[in-house]
Amino acid sequence: MQMWDHVFTNLDSGGKVLIDAGVLRPSDLEKFIKNSRNPNIKWVAVGVPAYCTLQGLLASAKSGTAGFLLRT
Q: Are 27 and 33 in contact (CB under 8 A)?
A: no
Rounded to the nearest 5°, which phi and psi values hold at 63? -80, -15
Summarize the confidence of residues 4-10 as an average pLDDT. 84
pLDDT tens, residue by residue, 10-68: 888 888 999 999 999 888 888 888 887 777 777 788 888 899 889 888 988 999 888 88
Q: How many CB atoms lie within 10 A of CB 17?
A: 15
pLDDT, residue 22, reads 93
| pLDDT at residue 20, as a whole number | 94
Whole-model pTM? 0.72
SS3 string, 45-62, reads HHHHHHHHHHHHHHHHHH
